[in-house]
Structure 1
Amino acid sequence: MLSAGAQDGSWAYYGQDAGGRRYSALKQINDHNVAGLKVAWTYRTGELATYEGTHALAKAAFESTPILIGRTLYLSTPSDRVIAVDAATGQQRWVYDPKVNLHDDHSEITSRGVAYWPAKGGGPLFGNGSVTNGEPGRIFIGTLDGRLIALDATTGKPAADFGKDGAVDLRAGVGDDIAETSPPVVTGDLVIVGSSLGDNYRFDYPQGVVRAYNVRTGKLVWSWNPIPTDPADSAYASWQGPKAHQSGAANAWSILSVDAARDLLFVPTTSPSPDYYGGERKGSNLYANSIVALRASTGKRIWSFQVVHHDLWDFDIAAQPMLVDIDRGGKKIGAVVVGTKMGHIFVLDRETGQSLFPVEERPVPASTVKGEEAWPTQPFPVLPAPLGIQGLSVADAWGPTEEDAAEARRRITSYRSQGPFTPPSPEGSIMAPGNVGGINWSGMCYDPVNDWLITNINLIPAVIRMLPRDSVDIVERADASVMRAETGRQLGTPYVMKRDYLIKVDMRGIVMQVKPPWGTLVAIDLHDGSKKWEVPLGHMMDPARYPDADKWGSINFGGAIVTAGDLIFVAASMDGHFRAFDRRTGKVLWDYALPAAGQATPMTYSLDGKQYVVIAAGGHGKLRTRQGDYVIAFAIK
C-alpha cells in the first residue's frame, strides 16, 4: 500500500514517508522523456560565506534532503541554518540561523534535514500551508551543538513555548559531546532524537540515549538507553567487565523510522565507544549494533535484533531502517529492512523481529590483541546474499600502472586479512568491507510495485592498527604510513587506533589499491532475495586519462530514490554528476554535471501539474569533492 505522499506527489519526510522508502508514484518524468530534463530553478544558500575565518570547509558536507510542505521546501545547511523556499520558483521565503560556533571542534559538520509537525487543525500536511486554528505547524532541527529547535513553519521564528525560547538543550545532564546530524522524527505529539558522537576519542563517551519530547512544550516524555544499566534487563549480562556499563555511544546517529499504525519506533544503533577495542566491554554487547523496536508512545523496548556481536570494526547501522510491505504468496507482510556497512541486508518481521530469510551464525577469527575477546561468531544473512567486498587477498591488488599494482600487492601482503570480521591487530588488519563500505548513511530505496530494493554501496577496504599507547611515537617515526593515518586516541584503553584505507594519494589524486568497482548501484528482488542487476556508479578517476574509468565506479555518499516512471535518481559519486538510471536494467538514461558535487539524497514532488526533482549540490569536505551551496530543481520543459 502506498503512503499518501507517494500517491499525491508530496515529500513530507526525509525518506519520503516515515518508513524511509524513498519511492514516488509520480511518472510525468519517465524513462521515455528523462533525456529532456532541464534545470527549472537554482537556489544559492550562501553557506560558504558562513565558514569564513574557520576551518569548517574541510569537514563540511551538504547532505540535506528537502521536505515539501504545502508549496514550500524546507532544508538545512551543514551549519544548521534552516531555509524555506518556494517550491515552484526557488525564491527564498525565510532563513533561520541558530548561530552554531564553527570554531568548535565538531567531528562532522553536516545536517541531513529537518522534520515537520502539522499541528492539530492547522495547515494540512499536503495542502496549501494555511493555518485554520491559529496554531502553525513546526519545523524541527537538531544542531551540531546539541540543541533541538522548534520553528514556526510560516515565519521561521523560534516557537517561544518550546523548551527555552524555542530550544531544548540535549547536552544537559548527558554530556557536552552530544550533536545532531540527522533530522528528528515526529510521530503524534512527540519529536524524537538520537545523537551523533565522535566515538573514537575515549572509552566513556556519553551513552546513546534516545529521547522523546512533547512537540509543543519541549518537555521530556521518555528516554531509552541502548547500554543496559538495570541488572534485571536480560541484556545486562552481555556487557562484562568492571567498567563495561560505563561504555559510551551505541547511539543512533542515522534516521529513525516510525510505523504510526503499530505505534513502533525503529532505532538503528551503533558500536559502543571506542569503535575498535572492546576489552573494557567484553560480551556480545546487546542493543548496540542492533535494530531496536520501541513503543513509540512510551519508549518501551518491544524487540531487538543484533547485526554485529561485540563490534570491533565501526560497523554502525548507518542507514535508515526501511519499512516495507513484502508480497509473499499474495499476502502482504510488514517488514523492516536493515542495510549495513558489511553489505549484509536483514529483512525482519516488523512486529516480532524474526528474520524473513535464513540467517546463519558463522565462526569468525579470534583477536590477537592482548585484553580483547572477539565474539566467536557473527550473523550472516543467506538471502539476500551479502553485497560488496567480503574479504580481500593479494589477488585483489590493483593499480593504474604495474608499479602501482606491485606497491598494492606489497601493502596487502603485509597485513592480516581473514575475511569480513578480521579483528584489529598490532601489525594492521584489513577490514573488507571497511567502515565506509557496504550500505552507509546513503541508505536504500524501495519500489513497492515490484518489491525491489535499490541501494548504492561502497567497496572500500580499511586498514586498522592497534598500537600500545606507550609505543605510538616510536612506530610513527619508523613508518610514515602510520604517521599519515587517522588517529583514534581511545582514552581509557591501553591502545591507540590508527585507521587508513587501501589507497594512495599523490599528484594524480586518490589512487585506489584494490581492483574496481569501488562503488555500485544494486537492485534486489525481495520476493526471493535475488540480485536483479548491479552497475558501476559514477567515476573517481579521470576518464580522459583512464578510458575505462566509467566502468570502475566511485566512492559515494548520498542515496537514491525510485519513481513510478521506472527511474532511479542518484548523485553521490565523486565526479559530481547527477544521474537517472533505468529501474529495470540499471542503464544510465540521463546525466547532468552539477556545479558542485551532490553528496545528498534527492527528492521529487509535483506542483501545479509539474513534476520536479531536487538535489542539494554542495560537495563534501572530507571527500575533497567540489564544494558549493546549490539547491537545484529539474523538470521537463
Structure 2
Amino acid sequence: MINLLTALVFGAIGLVLAIGGAQLIALSGSPYFLAAGISLILTALLVLLRRVEALWLHGLLILVSLAWAYSEVGFDWWQLGSRGGLIVVLGLWLMLPAVRRGLGRPETPARAEKPASVLPVGLPVLAAIAVAGYSLSVDPLDKAGSLPEDKVVSAPAYGGQVPDGEWHQYGRTPFGQRYSPLDQITPENVDTLKVAWTYQTGDVKQPGDVSETTYQVTPLKIGDTLYVCTPHNWAIAIDAETGREKWKYDPNVGLNPDRQHQTCRGVTYYADPQATAGATCAARVYLPTSDARLIALDAATGAVCESFADKGVLHLEQGMPYNPAGYYYSTSPPVVAGGKIIIGGAVNDNYSTQEQSGVIRAFDVKTGALIWNWDSGNPGQTAPIAAGQTYTANSPNSWSVFSVDEQLGLVYVPLGNQVPDQIGIGRSENVEKYSSSIVALDINTGADRWVRQTVHHDLWDMDVPAQPVLLDITKDGSTVPALVGPTKQGDIYVLDRRTGQPIVPVKEIAAPGGAIEDDFTAPTQPISDLTFRPDRLEEKNMWGVTLIDQMMCRIAFHKLKYDGQYTPPSLEGTLVYPGNFGTFNWGSVAVDPERQVMFGMPTYLAFTSRLVPRDQVPPKEQSEKGSEQGLNRNDGAAYGVYMGPFLSPLGIPCQAPPWGYVAGADLRTGEIAYKHRNGTVMDMTPLPLPFKVGVPGIGGPTITKGGVAFLGAAVDDYLRAYDLTTGRELWKARLPAGGQATPMTYSLGDRQYVVMVAGGHGSVGTKPGDYVIAYTLAE
C-alpha cells in the first residue's frame, strides 16, 4: 500500500512538473523542470516495480537540483529553499523504513525484514541540509557598511523656526527632512523604550469604505499638543504628555464609492504673528478632506474659523472643468509660506479622461482668497482665473507633500502623470514637459523657476511620489543648497535647489521601444548616479513557496512582454518593474543635515499591466472603477488597463525576495553605504512565522541627532529602531495594527517621545485600527 501511495505522489508531482516544464522549454525557459518531472515519473515507476534503483535515481535528482540551484542563486537560502525543498522532502519520504522495506529484488526473501540501504538518498539529503544550514548563516544579497559619523556642519539649516522638541509640519519643518535634533534616545538605550500612552481615535474602517482606506498620518506637535487627522478626516488634538483627547472635529465627509482613497496624511498648523495671544483662531489647524474641502479650525478649541473662505470652508472644486464627486480631493497637508496656504490635489487614477485639473493653488492663509494658480496644462497663466474660466482637465497633479525654502522664495512640488497613466496618445507639449517631475514654483507669483523631469513620456504611473527633502550640502569646500528627490524608479535626485541642476550626476540611458499603435516611447530615460533601481529581472529571479508555483511564475514571466525597465504597456501584458508602488513612495526618505546622509526604505515589487481595447472593456456596472489592482476603466480613452502585482497562484510575489530593505547613503558622494533586508513574514502568512525575508512596505522613516532611525511601514506590524550608521536593527515593538505611517518624535520637559500611528493600509492588506501610540525611555 505504501508503495502505491508513494508512486502516486511522485507520479502526480512529476507529471505536473513535466507538463509545465515542456511549456517552459517552448518559451525558451530552463530545461530543469521537465527533467525533474521525468525523473520523478521514473522514480514512481521504479517504486511500483519495487526496484531499489528508485533511491539511486532520486538521490541523483537531489544532487543535480542542488547544483542547478546553486548555479542560479548561490547561497541565498530563500531561493535555494524554494528550488530544493520539495525534492528534499520527497527524499525524506523515500528514506522512511516502510518505503525502503518494499524496495529490492522480488527473489530476495529478506526484503520484508531488512529495508534497502538509506545511503543512496540519505547522503544527498544530508548534503542538501548542509548547504541549507550554511546558507542560513550568510546573506549574499546583504550590503554591509557604515555611513560617515563625522558632523560635516555643526549648525545645519533645518528650515523654519521650529524648536528642537517640536514637530510643526509633515516633515517637521518646511525642509521636510524628517530629522529631529533630539538626542536623548541613542543606539545604546533605545531598547528600553516603553509605551508611554495609547490613544484610540474611534475612527475605524466602515463596511462601506473603499478598499484603499488607510491611516497614513504623521502627527504635529506644537507646545503641549499633538494634532492628527484620521482616514475619515476627523481632526483631533491630543495632550502630548498623557494622550488625553483635548478636542475632536468631524467634518462629516460621508462615504463615497467613487473615491479612490480614503485617507489623510496630515494637517497644517499656522500661528498668525499679528494676532493677539489667546484670540480666537490666532493659531489654526487646516484640515484637507476627501470631499474636496479645506477647513480652518481654531487650534485651541477645534471650532471652525469662519473668517476663512466660506465660513471656514474652502471648496477646492471651484474652477474645475469637471466635478464628479469623489474624483478629486487632497490627501496630503498643504504648506504655508509667505502668508499663503499652497495646496494640490489627488485626481483618481485611470477612472476617466473627464476629470479635474491637477492645478496647484495658493490662497491667502487668513482669508482664503485665491492669490495664484499654476496649472501644468497652462503654466504661463498664474494670475487667478476669471469667473467662468476653468483649469485644464487631467493636467498632471500633485497628491504628495510640498517643501518650501522661503529664503529662496520657492515651493517644491512633486508632480504625477496625466490620466490615463498607461496611455500617452495625444498628450500636449506641456504634459510631456511636466509629467512625473519636480517643479520649483515662485511662492509669490506661482511662476515655475525650473523643472526636473524624472521620466520621459511616462507610461508606467511613475509619479514623483515623495516630498522633496531640502538641506545644504558641503562639497568641494563650498555649500550648495540642495534638494533630495526620491522616485518610484529608485533614483535619488540630488539637485541644486536654486536651479534644478544635478549635484550628483544624472545621465540618459537607452530605453525599450515597442509601444502600441498611435503611441510612442522615449528613446532614453534619465538615471541618477545615486540609485536604488533593481537589476533587470531574469527567469532565475522567479520564486515560489514550492518548485511548482515557481515554475508557474517562470512560465508567466516568459509570457509577459519585458525588455527591462520602461518596457511599454501592451495588449499581451507587460511586466512593470519597479512596479506602481515604486521603489520609494510618499514616505520619502529622512536626511541628517549634520552628517549629510540619508536613510530610506527601498521596496521591490513587480507589477503587470495589460491594455484592453475600449470595445472589450466590460460594462461599468460589471467592473471596477480603478485601483492598483484589477481593471482600470479609463472611460473616454481608447484602452482600459488591467493592473496588479505580479503574484504566483498562491498569492505571493513571483519575484524572489527580498521585497524590502532599509538603506543608507552618503549624499555628498552618492555612495550607498548599506542595504539590509527589512521585515518578516509574520503577518503575511496563515502561521505567525518570524522569518526575516525582507518584505514590502509603504510609509516613511524619521531619524534623530541621537543616531537612531525609526520606521514602521513594513507589512508586518512593528515599529522598529535602527542604528543610522550601520542600518542594524536595534529594537522593535509589536503594533496592534498596520503601521503604514511615518513616525515622529518630540520632547516635553526632560523626556523624548516617539509617536507612531497604527491604522493599517487597504492596498497592502494590513490590519486596520485607530491607534496613536507614544513611546519613551523607561524611568
For the Cα contact (< 8 Å) 2:450–2:499, is it kept in 1?
yes
Q: Which moved more, 1:283-292 or 1:531-540?
A: 283-292
Instruction: Compute the displacement of 1:359 (Å).
Output: 1.4
1:495 to 617, 627, 639: 639
What are the equivalent positions in structure 2 for 1:471-482 lying under 5 Å apart? 471-472=616-617
User: Higher mean Cα deviation, 175-184 or 608-617?
Assistant: 175-184
Q: Deviations over 1:581-610 (max 9, x none)?
A: 011111110011011111100000010110
C-alpha separation in 2, matches of 1:598 and 1:549: 17
The CA deviation string for residues 478-515 of structure 1, in whole angstroms up to 9 with x for no partner, is xxxxx995111112221111102111364xxx412111
| Residues 1:219 and 2:369 aligned together | yes
Paired position in structure 1 for 2:724: 583
Q: Is the Cα contact below 8 Å between 1:7 and 1:25 reproduced in 2?
A: no
Cα distance change of structure 1 residues 617 and 156 upon mapping to structure 2, 3 Å threshold: same
Matched residue SS, 2:745 = strand
Residues 558-591 of structure 1 deviation map (CA, whole Å, 9 limit, x = unaligned):
1000111111100001110110001111111001
Q: Distance in 2 between matches of 1:531 and 1:257?
A: 24
> How far 1:550 sits from its partner (Å)?
3.7
The one-letter amino acid of 1:449's match is: E
C-alpha separation between the residues in 2 aligned to 1:559 and 1:168?
A: 29
> Are the structure 2 counterparts of residues 72 and 375 from structure 1 closer, same or farther at C-alpha, using a change threshold of 3 Å?
same
Structure 1 counterpart of 2:285, one-letter code:
I
1:333 aligns with 2:480: yes
Give the Cα–Cα distance (whole angstroms) in 1 for the partners of residues 685 and 235 of structure 2: 40
Q: State the alpha-carbon separation in 2 of the partners of residues 505 and 87 from structure 1.
A: 47
Answering whether residue 212 of structure 2 is matched by residue 32 of structure 1, we say no
Q: Is the 8 A contact 1:205 1:249 kept in 2?
A: no
Q: Does 1:139 align with 2:285?
A: yes
Deviations 1:448-483 (A, max 9, x none): 121111111210011111121223459xx9xxxxx9
How far apart are 1:308 and its partner, in Å? 0.9
Alignment of 1:380-399 (within 5 A): 380-381=527-528, 383-384=529-530, 386-399=531-544
**1:20 partnered with 2:176:** yes
Kindly state the Cα deviation for residue 189 of structure 1 after the two structures are TM-superposed: 1.3
Structure of greater Rg: 2
How far apart, CA to CA, are the structure 1 residues paired with 2:473 and 2:599?
A: 14
Deviation at 1:403, TM superposition (A): 1.1
CA displacement, residues 494-546 of structure 1 (integer Å, 9 cap, x when unaligned)? 1111102111364xxx4121111101111110111000101112123569999
- Identify which of 556, 560, 564 aligns with 1:411: 556
For 2:480 and 2:381, locate their aligned partners in 1 and report how far apart those are by CA, in whole Å. Answer: 35
Alpha-carbon distance in structure 2 between the residues aligned to 1:262 and 1:484: 37
Equivalent residue, structure 2, for 1:126: none
User: After the TM superposition, which residues 133-212 of structure 1 pair with which residues of structure 2 at under 5 Å, given as runs?
Assistant: 136-174=282-320, 175-176=322-323, 177-212=327-362
> What's 1:518 paired with?
659
Encode CA deviations 1:229-257: one digit per residue, 9 max, x unaligned. 6699xxxxxxxxxxxx9661410100011
CA contact (8 A) 2:353 2:419 kept: yes
Which residue matches 1:77?
230
Shift of 1:269: 0.5
1:241 alignment counterpart = none
Instruction: Give TM-score scaled by structure 2 length.
Output: 0.74
Count of paired positions: 603
| Residue in structure 2 matched with residue 431 of structure 1 by the alignment | 576
> In the TM superposition, what is the alpha-carbon distance from 1:203 to its structure 2 partner?
2.2
2:264 equivalent to 1:117: no
More helix by proportion, 1 or 2? Answer: 2
2:260 to 107, 119, 137: 107
| Distance change in 2, residues 1:425/1:162 (3 Å) | same
Give the secondary-structure state (helix, strand or coil) at the position aligned to 2:328: coil
Contact 1:487 1:498 in 2 (8 A): yes
Cα distance change, pair 485–60 in 1 and its aligned pair in 2 (3 A): closer
Task: Please say if 1:11 is aligned against 2:167.
Answer: yes
Against the structure 1 CA distance between its residues 32 and 122, is the aligned structure 2 distance closer, same or farther, given a 3 Å change threshold? farther
Measured against aligned partners, the alpha-carbon deviations of 1:285-319 in whole angstroms (never above 9, x if no partner) come to 11121111111121111111111111100000100
Decide whether aligned partners of structure 1 residues 473 and 71 sit closer, same or farther in structure 2, where only a CA change above 3 A counts: closer
Contact 1:503 1:512 in 2 (8 A): yes
Distance 1:368 1:388, change over 3 A: closer
- Report what 1:128 is aligned to: none
Other-structure match for 2:99 = none
Deviation at 1:394, TM superposition (A): 1.1
Inter-CA distance 449–282: structure 2 relative to 1 (3 Å threshold): same
Deviations, residues 76-128 of structure 1 (Å, cap 9, x unaligned): 001110000110111100001110021342110100000111111458xxxxx
Query: Do the aligned partners of 1:604 and 1:611 also contact (CA within 8 Å) in 2?
Result: yes
Q: Name the CA distance, whole Å, in 2 between partners of 1:499 and 1:617.
A: 28
Partner of 2:616: helix, strand, or coil? helix
Tell me, in whole angstroms, the C-alpha distance in 1 between the residues paired with 2:231 and 2:280: 32
Give the match for residue 518 of structure 2.
Answer: 371
Separation in 2, partners of 1:484, 1:218 = 34
Which letter maps to 1:331? S
SS at the partner of 1:470?
helix
CA contact (8 A) 1:540 1:573 kept: no
Q: SS at 2:352's partner residue?
A: coil
**Which amino acid is 2:594 matched to?**
V
Deviation, 1:617, is 0.5
Distance in 2 (CA, whole Å) between partners of 1:544 and 1:498 is 26
Range that drifts further, 217-226 or 356-365 = 356-365
Distance 1:247 1:543, change over 3 A: closer
Q: CA 1:27–1:230 in 2, change beyond 3 Å: closer, same or farther?
A: closer
Residue 468 of structure 2 aligns with an amino acid whose one-letter code is: P
Partners of 1:521 and 1:140 in 2: CA distance:
33
Q: Deviations over 1:309-353 (max 9, x none)?
A: 111000001000111111113322101111100001111111111
Aligned in 2, Cα 1:77/1:552: closer, same or farther, shift over 3 Å?
Answer: same
In 1, Cα distance between the equivalents of 2:734 and 2:317?
A: 41
Q: Residue by residue, what CA displacement relative to the aligned partner does 1:43-75 show, whole Å, maximum 9, x if unpaired?
A: 010001xx54x4216321110000011111000
Match of 2:669 in 1: 528
Is the CA contact (8 Å cut-off) linking 1:339 and 1:346 kept in structure 2?
A: yes
Counterpart residue identity of residue 499, structure 1: M
Task: Write the distance in 1 (CA, Å) between the matches of 2:344 and 2:618.
Answer: 37
Cα distance in 1 between the residues matched to 2:453 and 2:526:
8
The AA in structure 1 aligned to 2:217 is S
The one-letter code of the counterpart of 2:309 is G
Q: Residues 380-438 of structure 1, C-alpha deviation per residue, up to 9 Å, x if partnerless?
A: 11x21x21424322121011211121111111111011111111011111111011021
3-state SS of the aligned residue for 2:452? strand
8 A Cα contact 1:295 1:301, kept in partner: yes
> Hey, which of these two has a bigger chunk of strand by percent?
1
Cα distance change of structure 1 residues 91 and 387 upon mapping to structure 2, 3 Å threshold: same
Given that residues 180 and 705 in structure 2 are in contact (C-alpha distance below 8 angstroms), is that contact kept between their aligned partners in structure 1?
yes
Alpha carbons of 1:547 and 1:615: their partners in 2 closer, same or farther (altered >3 Å)? closer
Unaligned runs of 5+ residues in structure 2 are 1-155, 383-390
Q: CA RMSD in A?
A: 2.4
The CA distance in 2 between the partners of 1:322 and 1:336, in whole Å, is 6
Displacement, 1:6?
6.7
Equivalent pair of 2:288/2:333 in contact (CA under 8 Å): yes
Report deviation, 1:199.
2.4
Moved more, 546-555 or 442-451: 546-555
User: Which piece of structure 1 moves more, 617-626 or 597-606?
Assistant: 617-626
**CA contact 2:374–2:381 (8 Å) conserved in 1:** no
In structure 1, what residue type is equivalent to 2:738? A
Match of 1:127 in 2: none
- The percent of aligned pairs where both chains have the same amino acid is 38
In 1, Cα distance between equivalents of 2:699 and 2:201: 19
